[in-house]
Amino acid sequence: MADATLNPEQTTLLTLAAKISEQAETLTKSLKDNNVPMCDFTVDSPATYASPSPEIYMQRQGLIESLMDMIYLTQGPNESIFNYAHSAMPDAACINILNYFNFWDAVPLHGTATFQEIASHVSLPVDVVKRLVRHATTLRIFEETAPGKSTSEIRHSFRSAPLARSKGLRALLLTTLEMSGGPLMALHFALERYSKGKDHLPKNIDETAFSLLYSGGKFGTFKNTWEMLEEDGEGERKGWRQREFTVFMDYLKEIFGLEGVVKNAYDWESVGKAKVVDIGGSAGHDAITLAKSFPDLEIVVQDLPQVTPVFNANLPSELSSRVSFMAHNMFDPQPVAADIYLLKLILHDWPDEEAIKLLRALIPSLKPGARVIFIEYVGAEEDSEDAPLPRIVRGMGSATDLRVMALFNNRERPVSAWKEIFTMADERFEVRSVKSDKVAFYAVVEAVWRG
Ligand SMILES: C[S@@+](CC[C@H](N)C(=O)[O-])C[C@H]1O[C@@H](n2cnc3c(N)ncnc32)[C@H](O)[C@@H]1O
């Protein structure tokens, strides 16, 4: 429920509790009516409320918003800030470390492990392991068999078990916490150095909080995130981040139901036999989806070189005549003349200057009538006539927006800015259609080349 329904003067612990009870009842009924299995606190709980219904999603967000209000009101304003400041970073650091060293696999899913066994598995001192795991248990991540006792062993909990089961969730943590956490905490330094006294962020991707942290030598010499994904690691380990990133992108498709979005982004059947280039297509998860559903499409996936082995491993042999991989830097002139160029979740990682360069790099291969399709995140439109989304839903979007500020000097563009990008790149791009879904935070924009 949106903030508008919360009357500050009349909201008390008891009115909130009543509202929460009502919302919990409505949600439980909706889940039952739609046969959605309920999550519980056991290790074998469903990992998610597997419901595609936007209504149930919004009911859950409304309940979460009330619960957050309940926490704030119970703490009072001072304590709500103090407790957050006290715990936010240790909590994030703890989960990040557990994930980076893969504590999840150190404990059997339906058994227990001693601190010493976990320490051997993750190659860290047992004292460090004990302190980290004990903090994690306060977040319902792992459980102690005898809390606080030296004889205690560790078992999975309902929040840690999904991490043992899902490579995708682990890859998500690696990107959202491990790669972004440092830059987000260094964002104030970057703003001070590059933006203070100016009226905008730097327009390029090399003067970011990311580069401040990762290009100076101590933590690497990577100019930007993509270079880190490609270059981090020695020998066989090189490319490990890119390999994890392909798993993350595939997982995002799963959790946001983007498979349907890709299939419905365009009337793929209407183009008959057509060549599609999926620019920055990762290890081909979207290309494979499209090729399976539309047998007339021939798809070239372009991405950075370290993606090649993952693509080769992923590609079903029956699609090898129609789906191929090309290592290609998307800022170099496009070598493939295609009917459709697909850019999914690409340009939100690049500030305008670079996004424009990228679109211009397509021009040498564009034939009249060629399509460019963006499937992209959208940010909130200022002064929109629409009713505001619930605070908690807006927060998901604005968190992504701050992440792309720290990593890329970019912003989550509203729909209007997505259209402008085409015009700024070249007047011969004509934006034909824009479909957007505010709750799911994405838009599909189609432009035609009028060259
Ligand atoms: C956010 S991911 C999107 C992946 C995929 N399109 C999807 O929606 O799942 C961005 C992709 O762009 C690729 N990329 C980054 N810089 C690139 C460059 N200069 N040339 C080609 N690909 C690049 C990354 O390797 C990554 O796979």
Instruction: Determine the residue of 282, 306, 362 to mutate for testing ligand 1's pocket, defined as the one with the most ligand atoms within 8 A of the Cβ atom.
Output: 282
| pLDDT score, position 413 | 87
Gap from CA of 284 to ligand 1 centroid (Å): 11
Closest C-alpha residue for ligand 1 atom 15: 226
**Ligand 1 atom closest to residue 230's alpha carbon, by position in its atom list:** 25
CB within 6 Å of ligand 1 — which residues? Answer: 226, 249, 280-282, 286, 303-304, 307, 329-331, 344-346, 349
pLDDT beyond 70 at 182? yes
pLDDT beyond 90 at 204? no
Gap from CA of 344 to ligand 1 centroid (Å): 9
Instruction: Determine the residue of 176, 326, 346, 441 to mutate for testing ligand 1's pocket, defined as the one with the most ligand atoms within 8 A of the Cβ atom.
Output: 346
- Name the β-bridge partners of 433: 446
Gap from CA of 189 to ligand 1 centroid (Å): 27
Gap from CA of 281 to ligand 1 centroid (Å): 6
Closest C-alpha residue for ligand 1 atom 20: 329
Radius of gyration of the chain (CA): 24
Average pLDDT over residues 352-380: 92
How does pLDDT run across 154-174, given as a tens digit for each residue? 999 999 999 999 999 999 999
How does pLDDT run across 262-316, given as a tens digit for each residue? 898 899 999 999 999 999 999 999 999 999 999 999 999 999 999 999 999 999 9
Best mean pLDDT range from 187-191, 206-210, 216-220, 378-382: 187-191
**Ligand 1 atom closest to residue 330's alpha carbon, by position in its atom list:** 20
Q: Is 441 left (phi over 0), alpha (psi -120 to 50) or beta?
A: left
Answer yes or no: are the C-beta atoms of 181 and 218 closer than 8 Å: no
Gap from CA of 419 to ligand 1 centroid (Å): 21
Closest C-alpha residue for ligand 1 atom 13: 280
**Ligand 1 atom closest to residue 343's alpha carbon, by position in its atom list:** 6
Average pLDDT over residues 385-412: 90
Distance CA 28, CA 49 (A): 11
Answer yes or no: are the C-beta atoms of 117 and 110 closer than 8 Å: no
pLDDT beyond 80 at 329? yes
CA 209 to chain centre: 19
At 440, the pLDDT band (50, 70, 90 cuts) reads low
| pLDDT score, position 451 | 82
Tally of CB atoms within 10 A around 50: 11
Closest CA to 240 of 310, 183, 141, 287: 310
pLDDT beyond 50 at 10? yes
Closest C-alpha residue for ligand 1 atom 16: 226
Gap from CA of 229 to ligand 1 centroid (Å): 10
| pLDDT score, position 257 | 75
CATH of 79-165, picked from 1.10.10.10, 3.30.43.10, 1.10.3720.10, 3.40.50.1100, is 1.10.10.10
**Ligand 1 atom closest to residue 281's alpha carbon, by position in its atom list:** 6
Same-fold call for 79-165 versus 251-449: no
pLDDT beyond 90 at 82? yes
Distance CA 201, CA 190 (A): 10
Average pLDDT over residues 54-81: 96
Gap from CA of 253 to ligand 1 centroid (Å): 14
At 5, the pLDDT band (50, 70, 90 cuts) reads low
| pLDDT score, position 24 | 98
Break the chain into its structural domains and give their ranges.
3-75, 79-165, 167-243, 251-449
Gap from CA of 261 to ligand 1 centroid (Å): 18
Terminal Cα distance for the chain, rounded = 48
Q: Is 96 or 351 the better-scoring residue by pLDDT? A: 96
**Ligand 1 atom closest to residue 229's alpha carbon, by position in its atom list:** 25
Q: Is 179 or 256 the better-scoring residue by pLDDT? A: 179
Instruction: Determine the residue of 210, 303, 308, 404 to mutate for testing ligand 1's pocket, defined as the one with the most ligand atoms within 8 A of the Cβ atom.
Output: 303
| pLDDT score, position 166 | 97
Neighbouring residues of 26: CB distance < 8 A, sequence distance ≥ 6? 59
Average pLDDT over residues 33-56: 92
* Phi and psi angles of residue 73, each rounded to the nearest 5 degrees, phi first: -70, -35
| pLDDT score, position 4 | 45
| pLDDT score, position 2 | 43
pLDDT beyond 50 at 411? yes
- Name the β-bridge partners of 324: 300
Gap from CA of 251 to ligand 1 centroid (Å): 15
Mean of all residue pLDDT scores within the chain: 93
Gap from CA of 355 to ligand 1 centroid (Å): 13
**Ligand 1 atom closest to residue 250's alpha carbon, by position in its atom list:** 9
Number of residues written out for the chain: 451
pLDDT beyond 80 at 3? no
| pLDDT score, position 388 | 80
pLDDT beyond 80 at 117? yes
Please give the helix or strand (H or E) that residue 109 lies within, else none: none
Average pLDDT over residues 41-49: 96
Alpha helices, H only, 296-342: 308-314
Protein fold of 251-449: Rossmann fold (3.40.50)
| pLDDT score, position 279 | 98
Gap from CA of 390 to ligand 1 centroid (Å): 31
pLDDT beyond 60 at 211? yes
